[in-house]
Amino acid sequence: MDLNLTGKVVIVTGGAKGIGAAIVKALAAEGAVPVVVGRNEADNLRVTEEVVTGGGQAFQVVAELQNPEHCKSAVEQVLAKYGRIDALVNNAGVNDGVGLESGNYQAFIDSLHKNVVHYYLMAHHALPSLKSAKGAILNIGSKVADTGQGGTSAYAASNGARNALTREWAVELLPHGIRVNAVIVAECFTPLYKNWIQTFEDPEEKLRSIEQVIPLGNRMTTAEEIANTALFLLSDKSSHTTGQLVYVDGGYVHLDRSLSTPK
């Protein structure tokens, strides 16, 4: 299926690793021009060079998205390079474990900057160009906004805000033809997830215990599966889809709990 993404300039925050990198590679394979925005230039270049070596186009911008000025500068650099922005994928973030007991005011505020404030700022600064393109915004979110997790108040709050902003922006941007959707992730094996698993005494057993309660196939979601849905929502093949939270999670969040009980 031709997704009509050829030549589209798409910003992907946190596009150097994990889900972001999978989205970048999938965009390039469809002929789009992904722009990786992330804090580590070496990581950014690793992905963009892989895309270019494979015959695609890509660009990278170094930005610490916790810094509001960096958000503005990142958008300006993309516009200086291409003169347009057709879509924005807000993906960067980290489950940093700022809990109710373990955190404090500054840690909580810092986590909001890591995980949701830059979603707003990137959309705010890219908006004039998105209006011109009648583009799309895609927010990547987490199941913790629905299920809770324990010990991660700031990340849960950020993801609840991501969901709310998805619906709010979908309403606000209706007159401009800009569609806004979200992909909600549950258990996806990314480098950050691998690092978390390694904190357990028996990482392999912990991973098996999680896979057992994922209804569809008793396996983790892949980053590529997230990317495939992301591309559909960014493309005009989903031309009448806006304000939706799309769960790509093997049924983890919404299917009957009896299906998630180890036999």
**Contact yes or no for 95/196 (Cβ under 8 A):** yes
Does residue 161 come out as left (phi exceeding 0), alpha (psi in the -120 to 50 range) or beta?
Answer: alpha
Nearest residue to 245 (alpha-carbon basis) of 126, 154, 177, 159: 159
Query: Please, which pLDDT band fits residue 193 given cuts at 50, 70 and 90?
Result: confident
Return d(Cα 191, Cα 21) in angstroms, integer. Answer: 11
pLDDT tier, 196 (very low <50, low <70, confident <90, very high otherwise): confident
Confidence of residue 260 (pLDDT cuts 50, 70, 90): low
The pTM assigned to this predicted structure is 0.95
> Could you report the per-residue pLDDT of 163-184, keeping only the tens digit for each?
999 999 999 999 999 999 999 9
Cα–Cα distance for residue pair 75/122, rounded to 1 Å = 7
Q: Which of 166, 255, 165 is nearest to 213 (CA)?
A: 255
Are 185 and 226 a contacting pair, CB within 8 Å? yes
pLDDT tens sequence across 123-151: 999 999 999 999 999 999 999 999 999 99
Catalytic residue among 119, 155, 247, 252: 155
Question: What is the average pLDDT across 154-158?
Answer: 98
Q: Would residue 155 show up in a list of annotated catalytic residues for this protein?
A: yes
Superfamily of segment(s) 9-191+222-250: NAD(P)-binding Rossmann-like Domain (3.40.50.720)
Q: Where are the domains of the chain?
A: 9-191+222-250
Helix, strand, or coil here: 35?
A: strand
